[in-house]
Amino acid sequence: MYLFRFRHWIEVTGNLPKILALLFIAGAGITLISLKVILGQWSFLPQDSLIQPALLANQVERVETGIFAISVYDIDLTSNSFYADFYMWFKWKGDIDPITYLEVTNSISDWAMMSVPAHPEPEPLTDGRFYQISRVEGRFLQSFDLKRYPLDQYNLSIFMENSAYTTNQLVYVADKEASGYSEFLTIPGWSIMGSAIDSLVRTYDTNFGDPRLPNQSEHSVLRYSLNIARPWSFFVWKLLLPLLIVLASSCAALLLAPQHIDSRVALPVTALLTAVFLQETYADALPDLGYLVLMDKIYVMAYILIFASILEVIIMAYWVDQNDAIWRRRVMWIDLALLAVQIIVMATGLTWLVTQP
């Protein structure tokens, strides 16, 4: 009974276009608010295969090591690399030199990496330890998984490892208190979420062809990570908003009177061509990938919705040719139902895609 009164009120007052427009605006608004809340709560970071060190024996030389980043730039998604400039220091007590055989395992072009020590020789401290600090600059390898683009988040990591001594002889202990990054450090297009430094262990199940060595060895690894993420505003305002406008123009065909067949067909077709152009625009900034990124999946959903609108107006055009007032009212209500379904699919689909790890 209430549904009949509501239908009669729409037909008499002619408020159908206003109701459809309000439904679309409400759906888009709820979707944007949900995305903002979700993006503030979810974090999708890859797990590392390195393990934490076990309890250390008393005879193991402990080297307190810290890293302080002052500049990170030229993040290249195509070459999977980034450039970093940072200070690294060591404090130790013992006969083993922790710097001589130290390797940056994920550096690119070791010949191009610069490492300048601040002191010609390690400085003695009052507690009997030695101290040395160096400024390091170079390009580092970083594997970028773009499946979450444009909501991707990465740990830009630098790995330090001693190739000569095992964990039974020397271990790098992270100086968490003094490590970090400069307050003036900015990366255009990215938000810095924080940094971390960890002391880890890497196991090699080989003796590297040397029969004098055991078949398995463990080496101390120091990992410094700078956590960065794309701002959610980049996704919403630069990529999602244009697509929502295109979808709105496609849905606008359902607001037109059924007899305007040409306009009802032209709007979703134009929206389809525009969506293809928008997808090519952001895809040009990405390397060639063998999988769909998050934005690709959103566009697939958009294509389905636009194609549904095209089928709707074509099928309804056949009904309108019956030249019957009853058929035209049926078209009006089917348009209303389809638009409601599209709004629900858009809101739930976007929310589901964003929350997938």
Concatenate the DSSP letters of all residues of 112-157 into one string: G-EEEESSSSPEEPTTS-EEEEEEEEEEEE----GGGTTS-EEEEE
C-alpha 74/C-alpha 9 separation (Å) is 61
Superfamily name with CATH number, domain 2-39+233-355: Neurotransmitter-gated ion-channel transmembrane domain (1.20.58.390)
E-strand ranges in the chain read 61-76, 81-92, 102-104, 107-108, 114-117, 123-124, 130-141, 153-162, 170-174, 180-181, 191-204, 217-229
Q: Which residue has the higher pLDDT, 160 or 57?
A: 160
- Per the omega criterion (within 30 degrees of 0), is the bond before 120 cis? no
pTM as predicted: 0.77
Q: Would you state the pLDDT for residue 354?
A: 84
pLDDT tens digits for 37-46?
Answer: 544 444 444 4
Domain spanning 61-230, CATH class: mainly beta
Per-residue confidence at 1, pLDDT binned at 50, 70, 90?
Answer: very low
Per-residue confidence at 89, pLDDT binned at 50, 70, 90?
Answer: very high
Q: Which residue has the higher pLDDT, 145 or 8?
A: 145
- Do the Cβ atoms of 81 and 112 come closer than 8 Å? no
- Helix/strand/coil percent split, the chain, to 5: 40, 25, 30
Lowest mean pLDDT among 68-72, 160-164, 326-330: 326-330
Q: Which of 28, 23, 39, 24 is nearest to 241 (CA)?
A: 28
- Report domain extents, the chain: 2-39+233-355, 61-230
